[in-house]
Amino acid sequence: MTFTAEIDIMPQKALLDPQGKAVSSSMTNIGLAEISGVRIGKHISLQVEAASEEAAKAKVEEACKKLLANQITESFEFVIAQN
Amino acid sequence: MKFGVVVFPGSNCDKDMIYVLKEILKQEVVELWHKDTDLQGVDFVVLPGGFSYGDYLRSGAIARFSPIMEKVVDFANQGGYVMGICNGFQVLCEAGLLPGTLKHNNSQTFICKNVWLKPASNDMALTANLDTNKAYQIPIAHGEGHYFADDATLAELKSNNQIIAYYSNSNAEVLDSANPNGSVNSIAGVCNAGKNVFGMMPHPERAADENLGNIDGRAFFESLLKNLVPA
């Protein structure tokens, strides 16, 4: 079975996200001072072959931990669905 | 001493490093291609600066899984000497050979300029012969050089004397105003607990040839050569 995973990788909440902060402050420049708290991460989608949804989740989890996210500074979450 | 300089696709300081090791320091040097799995009997592996694999995903994240790195990790874990400069430092952090990680500079810009470094201790081969009360002028050139580690790791780095150098002003004073990228505690480089793996963002190889008008970086290499213990 083929599954698609949609993965979000975000800077950990406790850490300063300078990119998000810069974008946040430019909201005022476009007249949207009501918007704040911008945080910027990455979205990754991928396909995984697995015998079950459980097995597919385990593989995506391993990919996130080993390669896709740096857990010192980033957290990740994902949703998975069969194609 | 036989040095091996790893060449990843996107490395761009490999030739400078080889030049300094070979021509200035008169050491034997071989190039180690990222697809190789043979360290050719080197005593010391250098991971040079650059943009390995285009810095895709995160700096160093993909290089860390290249075939040569598997051998470098084994070599380091057996006590072999490894040093990463700039992108090489990022690769070593991603590989788990050094604690912490490198984030985007606080300014969100690529910074290329001379900075001053105050050696943190004389407790490792790389800094044993440096003056901890002196500032050394060394260039930096990076977009992701903000060193980050959690408080427990920082305390450990400090108590084991694993910090190589701090960003300082020209009087060797460590001040926030002299910290170019937001690195926690102004840390410019660290080594592992075994003191055989070194990583730093500044480029000592770019300050080692008299023709360039600054040889402060040469002191780091000379300290290494004097204090390395051959395997």
ipTM at complex level: 0.81
Please identify every stretch of chain B with a pLDDT value under 70, giving residue numbers as ranges: 230-231
B108: Cβ contacts below 8 Å, ≥ 6 apart: A18, A19, A22
Nearest to A72 among B61, B108, B148 (CB): B148
Q: Where does the pLDDT of residue A68 fall: very low under 50, low under 70, confident under 90, or very high at 90 and above?
A: very high
Q: What pLDDT was estimated at residue B16? A: 97
- Superfamily (CATH) of domain B2-227: Class I glutamine amidotransferase (GATase) domain (3.40.50.880)
- Output the average pLDDT for chain A: 95
Closest-CA distance, B106 to chain A, in angstroms, reads 6
Nearest CA in chain A to B104: A18
Q: What are the C-alpha distances in Å from A49 to residues A17, A53, A57, A63? A: 34, 10, 11, 13
Domain regions of chain A by residue span: 2-82
Please write the tens of the pLDDT for every residue from A16-52.
888 899 899 999 999 999 999 999 999 999 999 999 9
The H helix count followed by the E strand count for chain B is 5, 11
What is the spatial distance between Cα A11 and Cα B21, in angstroms, rounded to a whole number?
39
CB atoms B94 and A72 under 8 Å: no
**Residue B33 CB-density burial (10 A; 0-12 exposed, 13-18 middle, 19+ buried):** middle
- Please tell me the CATH code under which domain A2-82 is placed: 3.30.1280.10
SS3 state of residue B229 = coil
Rounded percentage of chain A residues whose pLDDT exceeds 70 = 100
Among A70, A74, A75, which would you mutate to test the B interface (most chain B Cβ atoms within 10 Å of its Cβ)? A70
How much is the pLDDT for B231?
61
For B56, the closest chain A residue by CA position comes to A68
Cβ–Cβ of B108/A67 closer than 8 Å?
no
Q: Domain-by-domain residue ranges, chain B?
A: 2-227
